[in-house]
Copies of this chain bind each other. A is one copy, B any other.
Amino acid sequence: MDPVRRPRGRPRKPVLLEPAGLGPRRGLHDQAAERLRALIVAGTLPAGAALVETELSAALGISRTPLREALKLLAVEGLVELRPNRSPRVAELCADAVTELFEAIAAIERAAAELAARRIAPAELERLRRLQTEMEAHHAAGALASYFALNQQIHALIVASARNAYLREAHEALHARAEIARRRALDSRARWDESVAEHRAILAALEARDPERAGRLLADHVGHTGTALLAGLDSTPDAA
């Protein structure tokens, strides 16, 4: 009944999967993909966990066919790793991969910021300001989770303001994987102050509609986040 299977037997923490209580949505495979994505990003399904079709399908209350389709989907997104005739596994992220990942995210967000500086609408700028204010409030209150959520919304909004569906798409795919790494990292409260300040500078650059500066600041910000996260990475996430 436990869909999580670690490569070699180890103390398995119970994984809770609601039997399938979700509302009227699109196809089951889509729902399954969404759920699995959430479970993987949240770390409920830890990196390296084997995903056995029969067990997962039973846990999700669906049959193997839509589940397989969902797994293929997540494989393309890079969240799971399929090997022929073997159980798919939740993708691992070694330190090198995290470095590359944030490098790529920085590249995309830089381009997005440059475009956004030219194209962002006043309403979006206003929303960015509100989010920044809110984030600073959560920062001051020490609310880590809320801070992260706001932070993510800000980055997503900047990318959206670039008005480029392909950049946005690429960013989303990479962001999901970054979230995994983020969950595995220890609290990096040390970087809060820095991060908030950097966000303020980025917002200022966007308001000034300075593409070069906005792009550079955002890329640097993501780069810093990556290195900070890398430093705080739990070096022994699953394997002993």
Contact = CB atoms under 8 A, between A and B. Distances in A.
Interface of A: 26-27, 29, 65, 68-69, 72-73, 76-78, 84, 97, 100-101, 103-105, 107-108, 110-112, 115, 163-167, 169-170, 173-174
A157 B170 CA distance: 20
Given A68-B69, A73-B76, A76-B73, A165 B107 contact: no
23 contacts: A65-B65, A69-B72, A72-B72, A72-B73, A73-B73, A76-B77, A97-B165, A101-B166, A103-B115, A103-B167, A104-B164, A104-B166, A105-B166, A107-B107, A107-B110, A107-B112, A108-B108, A108-B111, A108-B170, A110-B111, A170-B170, A170-B173, A170-B174
Closest 9 CB pairs of A and B: A107-B111, A104-B166, A170-B170, A76-B76, A104-B167, A100-B164, A69-B72, A103-B164, A104-B164
Contacts of A76: 73, 76-77
